[in-house]
C-alpha cells in the first residue's frame, strides 16, 4: 500500500479511537460528529455539502445518528454505485481493568502493555514486541475499517473527474446493540435509489479488514 495513504489511514484510525464511543452512551454522538468533521474537511464535500448529511435514528432516546456521504463520479453519467458500510460504536471498556483509562489511547496503551509483558501469553507478547501491533478499544472493530474507507474516499475525490459511477459511505451508529443506525440508513439508500436512479452493484462492509494495513490490532 502507498505509504502516504497507509499513514493517513493510521492517523484517522487513531483519531477515531481516541474518541470513546461505547454503544448506548452519548459518546456515540461525539464520534459521529468526528467522522462528519473529517469528511466535510475534504475539498469535494466542502464544494458539494449536499452530498453529506446526518441520518437520525428514529425514536432514539440518545438522539443518535449516522453519517451518509456520497461521491458522485463526473466521468460520463453512470448510475452504477457501490455502498461502503462501517460502524462507529464499540463494546465497553470494563475488560481493560486498571488500564481502562488508556483503552482509547492506542500508543499509550501499547506502552502500558509492554510494561506488563511478562504477564501476557507468549503469543501476545511476541506480537507486542514485534512493534507491528497497536492496541485499543475499537481500533480493530472497526475504526480502522472506517479509516480505510475515509482515506480511500479522500483519494478518489482528488480525481473525481475520472470516477465512472458513485460511492456511498454509511458510517452507522448502534451496531453493537440494536443496529439502529443500519436500519435507519436502509430507507435512505432506497430513497437515493429512487431519486437518483442509482444502480447498486455491491455493498462492502469493511469490518475486520486489515489485510493490507501496516498497523495491526489485537483488541
Q: Is residue 42 pLDDT above 60, yes or no?
A: yes
- Domains of the chain and CATH, by start: 3-217 (3.40.630.10)
Coil vs helix vs strand at 74: coil
Q: Is residue 29 pLDDT above 70, yes or no?
A: yes
The confidence score (pLDDT) of residue 217 equals 41
pLDDT (tens digit per residue) in 4-19: 999 999 999 999 999 9
Question: Which H or E run contains 183?
Answer: helix 180-196
- What residues are paired with 87 via a beta bridge? 172
Rounded to whole angstroms, the Cα distance separating 9 from 67 reads 19
Rounded to whole angstroms, the Cα distance separating 69 from 51 reads 6
The confidence score (pLDDT) of residue 208 equals 66
pLDDT (tens digit per residue) in 111-159: 999 999 888 888 888 888 898 888 999 999 999 999 999 999 999 999 9
- What residues are paired with 200 via a beta bridge? 81
- What residues are paired with 72 via a beta bridge? 166
The confidence score (pLDDT) of residue 118 equals 83
Rounded to whole angstroms, the Cα distance separating 62 from 83 reads 26
Edge-to-edge strand ranges of the sheet holding 199-205: 52-56, 65-72, 166-172, 80-87, 199-205
pLDDT (tens digit per residue) in 197-219: 999 999 999 886 444 333 344 33
The confidence score (pLDDT) of residue 146 equals 97
The confidence score (pLDDT) of residue 210 equals 45
CA 174 to chain centre: 13
The confidence score (pLDDT) of residue 132 equals 87
Confidence band for 35, pLDDT divided at 50, 70 and 90: very high
The confidence score (pLDDT) of residue 131 equals 87
pLDDT (tens digit per residue) in 59-100: 999 999 999 999 999 998 999 999 999 999 999 999 999 999
- What residues are paired with 54 via a beta bridge? 67
- What residues are paired with 141 via a beta bridge? none
Q: Which three cell numbers stand for residue 119?
A: 504477564
Q: Which three cell numbers stand for residue 125?
A: 507478547
Mean pLDDT of 52-58: 98
The confidence score (pLDDT) of residue 218 equals 38
- Crossing angle of helices 106-115/122-130, nearest 10°? 130
What pTM did the predictor assign? 0.91
pLDDT (tens digit per residue) in 178-195: 999 999 999 999 999 999
Compute the mean pLDDT over every residue in the chain, rounded to the nearest whole number: 92
- Crossing angle of helices 144-157/27-40, nearest 10°? 20
Question: Which H or E run contains 172?
Answer: strand 166-172
Amino acid at each position: 500500500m502507498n505509504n502516504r495513504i497507509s499513514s493517513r489511514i493510521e492517523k484517522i484510525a487513531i483519531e477515531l479511537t481516541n474518541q470513546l464511543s461505547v454503544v448506548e452512551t452519548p459518546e456515540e454522538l461525539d464520534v459521529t460528529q468526528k467522522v462528519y468533521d473529517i469528511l466535510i474537511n475534504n475539498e469535494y464535500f466542502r464544494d458539494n455539502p449536499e452530498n453529506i448529511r446526518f441520518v437520525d435514528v428514529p425514536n432514539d432516546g440518545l438522539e443518535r445518528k449516522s453519517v451518509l456521504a456520497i461521491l458522485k463520479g463526473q466521468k460520463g453519467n453512470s448510475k452504477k454505485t457501490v455502498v461502503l458500510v462501517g460502524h462507529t460504536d464499540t463494546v465497553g471498556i470494563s475488560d481493560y481493568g486498571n488500564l481502562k483509562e488508556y483503552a482509547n489511547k492506542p500508543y499509550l496503551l501499547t506502552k502500558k502493555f509492554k510494561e506488563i509483558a511478562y504477564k501476557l501469553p507468549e503469543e501476545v507478547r511476541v506480537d507486542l514486541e514485534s512493534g507491528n501491533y497497536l492496541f485499543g478499544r475499537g481500533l480493530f472493530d472497526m475504526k480502522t475499517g472506517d479509516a480505510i474507507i475515509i482515506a480511500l474516499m479522500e483519494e478518489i475525490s482528488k480525481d473525481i473527474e475520472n470516477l465512472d459511477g458513485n460511492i456511498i459511505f454509511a458510517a452507522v451508529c448502534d451496531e453493537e446493540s440494536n443496529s439502529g443506525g443500519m436500519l435507519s440508513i436502509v430507507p435512505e439508500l432506497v430513497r437515493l435509489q429512487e431519486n437518483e436512479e442509482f444502480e447498486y452493484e455491491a455493498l462492502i462492509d469493511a469490518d475486520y479488514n486489515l489485510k493490507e494495513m501496516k498497523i495491526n490490532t489485537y483488541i
